[in-house]
Structure 1
């Protein structure tokens, strides 16, 4: 990111960031920057990044107004989402809003209805069994593996089968490496957005090679469906068959590509990172791991979990919810005010960007009993009831809440239950584990663990 400078204060009670030295802090550690910013200056701070006027908020009431109360006034025509357009195009996540987004959402929603989640359960447990076959060698030889990478492969395989009826297992490494290359490139490009992507620099050429790899996978999925549409009853088939009510036209290949890429990337990346951080936190907190094991042993008694078991596994759910509080996969959200608005007593000028860090909001001491600790009891029903709804937003909220939030929760709880039922994951000593805020909040160096049968 470039310069941060003074901007006119909207009114007296809003603080304006004045320290130019903050640039280094922002580039060095965005997570710490946003946390320190709100702790020092309060829940609403005004800055300028490049030529962009930005208001940073960190209060549930302000977030509720942007995501729900006056959501039509705030769209996604912002640098953070525009940065992803070379990868995601105009898919559901990056499209700005209005009728185009609403039409896309309506087309996809049936694939995520609760009655379709039972198929997800079978696909999840089957994919985990395949992963266990791979893990047996590591357990027998007491060799370490990177559980963050394992979760990426697992969730990529699950989402590709559940939404597109494709087994991507053999291409998981290829897809994962290309996506990691793009992920790192986009963060670097956001900090140094020059030269343009069409200049043939070594950095840009690496990006285009990685994007070509991902496109090859996506277009292959589309080709298989288009050649034999009668064989598939999944989301992609629904999108291929969908027709505009007025024109009768279907989606173009480009639009289909954008939607498939969005669902593949968003559908596996967020859940995988949440699960990776879960294994790290459980290994660091044996007392929580013990409670989890007791619940799994009592409820499941050794059998494979199903979706029907999830209501009887509340602590399993609480463990994953608490993980997403401390390490929310989507760690930053941004919107643009189309017209003037008010957040509390503060005027928001037209064309102003509004930004908040989910990571900072989830650690706000006013709303969390133990903000920096791994404490699943934060999600006991009585604790949830007394907390503002928008103090916890791992999937965003309002009309543009993540379409796959139920999908992700079911998948992640089943994975937690089935893996913890069979194995303990022990951290390899003396490794550096650090969150890296890219497109999502991932472990920068992975998480090396030993697999120990229970």
Structure 2
């Protein structure tokens, strides 16, 4: 404990001078919760612009600070990360979904979960997923028609779910994709509502949102239970996919995971393992559909690098502009739009002192639109990533996958998947966003496109289509 206290006292190199940072006034009891809940993205942007890099406010009795300086963020997420936990203000609402999986666990439980999951996202195991990603994408594209309208957000959610099931679980979920898509939508909408509440309403209370929430969890559990039952029936010893590794894992007492532990880890990875990529691609197509020149450049790069064959992971180093489109889409529309921590003891930041139990908010939505770090921050400019910007930015000015020890374990998986899928789709189709279809950023646990991403499809010329057979 003495070591931890010492590190906390060093949280800021600047001497503590003031007790309360600037921030907006609130109302009794609710504080600033109403304004925050009404427009979370707009409110965080407004108070950052008005009050600066450290903003104090109150969310129904939960003292909260918004940090907008990369150095202060690094202190919280990296240098003193042991003095902070995942924020209970947010996660207390959704324990029924994630249980004690890698997303929500703390301490030794989290470290054990992370160790078990890490091999599935490392080295040759990770690169070996590419062929399945491409095959499943082309299977989807075989059902697309020239000139038709499609909601590519729905398409990407289904595709990335199938890829996560195949690559991480070695399972087919084609028959479950529609049900899982509805379940994820119900979960995210209910989570968004819960995050605005000053108190927890038990899940058993028969509110309409709670009914949909419980039904969505049951859908996910049904899919997971089938996967586990199939694996037990067919055997998992010697298999290297994520689910098999979990089922074969033993602790120091030679005990395996309980069914509940398997459920928590598998459901967490299945849900989290597909949504980030689906959102990155959905927002990419929204932006590409409004910028025909970007669409042409992606197609030209893919034609030059890949030609008329199937893309492979070996092509990734040469798909620089395609990757830049993904990076820029995640800058403007970061899937993880806000990151929350809670202090375990007093700490300092930017010359201010904060007490134990303070909620710390870090918003990639705000950071990624900061003109101190990004020229023309509201403009979609993929070329900004072609000139070494990633190496010149402060470490925490751009953080679509979070940061520190709890950075998204699947970030490499997500980037490989996003670039390969974008290249494969661009090889066969171009898209025009339909401006009459309203789209609104919807902040829940992730940043979803409310209203969908409706585009009109146009087939590319035959020379840009893959000719090799597509098999799983």
| Interval of TM-score (by shorter of Structure 1 and Structure 2) | over 0.9
| Residue 468 (structure 2) aligns with | none
User: Once the two structures are superposed, what CA deviation does each residue of 1:89-130 show, in whole Å capped at 9, x if it has no partner?
Assistant: 1100111x2211111111111111121123210110010111
Q: CA deviation at 1:177?
A: 0.3
- C-alpha RMSD of the superposition: 1.8
| Residue 238 (structure 1) aligns with | 245
| Residue 100 (structure 2) aligns with | 90
Matched, 1:199 2:205: yes
| Residue 150 (structure 1) aligns with | 155
Contact 2:33-2:60 at 8 Å conserved across structures: no
Residue 272 (structure 1) aligned to one of 267, 278, 291: 278
| Residue 54 (structure 2) aligns with | 44
Q: CA deviation at 1:83?
A: 2.3
Q: SS of 1:124's equivalent?
A: helix
Distance 1:92 1:431 in 2: 37
Map 1:381-420 → 2, pairs under 5 A: 381-420=387-426
| Residue 21 (structure 2) aligns with | 14
Q: CA deviation at 1:424?
A: 0.3
Contact 2:439-2:451 at 8 Å conserved across structures: yes
Structure 2 gaps of 5+ residues are 1-15, 461-472
Q: CA deviation at 1:410?
A: 0.2
User: Once the two structures are superposed, what CA deviation does each residue of 1:286-327 show, in whole Å capped at 9, x if it has no partner?
Assistant: 222222222112211222111000001111111101100100
User: Once the two structures are superposed, what CA deviation does each residue of 1:180-214 show, in whole Å capped at 9, x if it has no partner?
Assistant: 11211121122245642122333322221222111
| Residue 224 (structure 1) aligns with | 230
| Residue 173 (structure 1) aligns with | 178
Distance 1:269 1:194 in 2: 25
Map 1:117-156 → 2, pairs under 5 A: 117-136=126-145, 139=146, 142-156=147-161
Contact 1:306-1:414 at 8 Å conserved across structures: yes
| Residue 115 (structure 2) aligns with | 106
| Residue 79 (structure 1) aligns with | 89
Contact 1:378-1:384 at 8 Å conserved across structures: no
Distance 2:387 2:80 in 1: 28
Distance 2:402 2:365 in 1: 12
Contact 1:10-1:348 at 8 Å conserved across structures: no
Matched, 1:361 2:370: no
TM-score, reference length from structure 2: 0.90
| Residue 6 (structure 1) aligns with | none
- Report how many aligned residue pairs link the two structures: 440
Distance 1:143 1:423 in 2: 11
Map 1:217-366 → 2, pairs under 5 A: 217-230=223-236, 232-245=239-252, 247-366=253-372
Distance 1:387 1:429 in 2: 34
Residue 60 (structure 1) aligned to one of 67, 70, 74: 70
Q: CA deviation at 1:358?
A: 1.1
Distance 1:74 1:412 in 2: 31
Q: SS of 1:15's equivalent?
A: coil
| Residue 447 (structure 1) aligns with | 453
| Residue 469 (structure 2) aligns with | none
Q: SS of 2:56's equivalent?
A: strand
Distance 2:247 2:425 in 1: 36
Q: SS of 1:187's equivalent?
A: helix
Residue 370 (structure 1) aligned to one of 376, 384, 402: 376
Distance 1:149 1:419 in 2: 15
Q: SS of 2:137's equivalent?
A: helix
User: Once the two structures are superposed, what CA deviation does each residue of 1:20-64 show, in whole Å capped at 9, x if it has no partner?
Assistant: 496544222211111111001101111111121111111111111
Contact 1:435-1:441 at 8 Å conserved across structures: yes
Q: SS of 1:336's equivalent?
A: strand
Q: SS of 1:287's equivalent?
A: helix
Structure 1 gaps of 5+ residues are 1-8
Q: CA deviation at 1:381?
A: 4.5
Map 1:201-216 → 2, pairs under 5 A: 201-216=207-222
Which range is displaced more, 25-34 or 313-322? 25-34
| Residue 115 (structure 1) aligns with | 124
Matched, 1:436 2:442: yes
